[in-house]
Structure 1
Amino acid sequence: MFDLKGALSLLVPKGSTALKSGEICQGTAVYADAKLGTLVQVYNPSGRSIASGVLGQGQFVENELGAACRFDFTIRGVPDGLPTYGVEVGSHGVHSVSSTEAHSWVAIADASF
């Protein structure tokens, strides 16, 4: 078993919001359900749910590349030894990740803030 760690980043066009780095944020439009406590599911290659957790508090982050509302997550007790894993935030589709990625950091990004 291992802890799968990662983040959902909802990309924001620079200058399109009054939020400042470090402020609390949540998703809008298609990702209106992206907020503290939103379900994050982990699936095996057959599509069966094998672990779950929730999004942490959204935090607005900015750097030289742009800006995003970022939600970190940690899914505890994920079974080890699979070649790939599926990760789904809310009901926004399953993202397939390699075992290596699942064991280091899962980055999910979308431009739908």
Structure 2
Amino acid sequence: MPDHPPAVPTYRWSRLSRGAVLAIGAGLGAAAVGACWAGMSLAGQSGDSFSTDGTLTVTGVGGGLDSGEPCSGTGGYSDIHFGTQVTITDAAGALVAMGSLGLGQKTEQGCEFPFTVDDITPGSKLYTVEVSHRGGLSKAEDELRTGSLAFTLGD
């Protein structure tokens, strides 16, 4: 048996002080967080999203109400009301943005609901705008960017 125990191998990290190891670890962690942040920021810049707005008018609804009074769809249009979902899909049919109808107001034509849809992903030649389950209407990207869309349901 040898008179002394075998030598313990020395590793590079064991020669550094505890503070130095902590500083190196903090630096590597900060670099990783920074790289993730930069990657996520650049990934979101594939094209600036945009918004659109418009109105949906349900004709023949709101009889007996004064102009400007709150209203909602009735009868066969009872699915059209404040909060009804507005979806926008791209040419491939993928959902790219969602919004909802605002509070309906009585107009001469019927009950008019404003809507805004934010964060629309750009780059599709055509988009389909659909309210509730009523079937979609196709619009070009420049039409959506311009906004002031006007849709009508009813007679």
Q: TM-score range by the shorter chain?
A: 0.7 to 0.9
Number of the residue aligned with 2:71: 25
Q: State TM-score, norm by structure 2.
A: 0.64
Amino acid at match of 1:12: G
- SS in structure 1 opposite 2:80? coil
* Max Rg structure: 2
Amino acid at match of 1:77: D
Q: State TM-score, norm by structure 1.
A: 0.85
Number of the residue aligned with 2:129: 87
For residues 1-113 of structure 1, the aligned pairs below 5 Å read 1-12=49-60, 17-62=63-108, 67-104=109-146, 105-111=148-154
The aligned length equals 106
Aligned-residue Cα RMSD (Å) equals 1.6
Question: CA 1:101/1:68 → structure 2, altered by over 3 Å: closer, same or farther?
Answer: farther
Higher relative contact order (CA 8 A, sep 6+): 1
* Residue ranges of structure 2 left out of the alignment (5+ in a row): 1-48
Number of the residue aligned with 2:17: none
Q: Partners in 1 of 2:111 and 2:77 — Cα distance?
A: 11
The share of aligned pairs that are identical, in percent, is 34
Structure 1 consecutive aligned stretches of length 4 or more whose deviation exceeds 4 Å? none
* Residue ranges of structure 1 left out of the alignment (5+ in a row): none
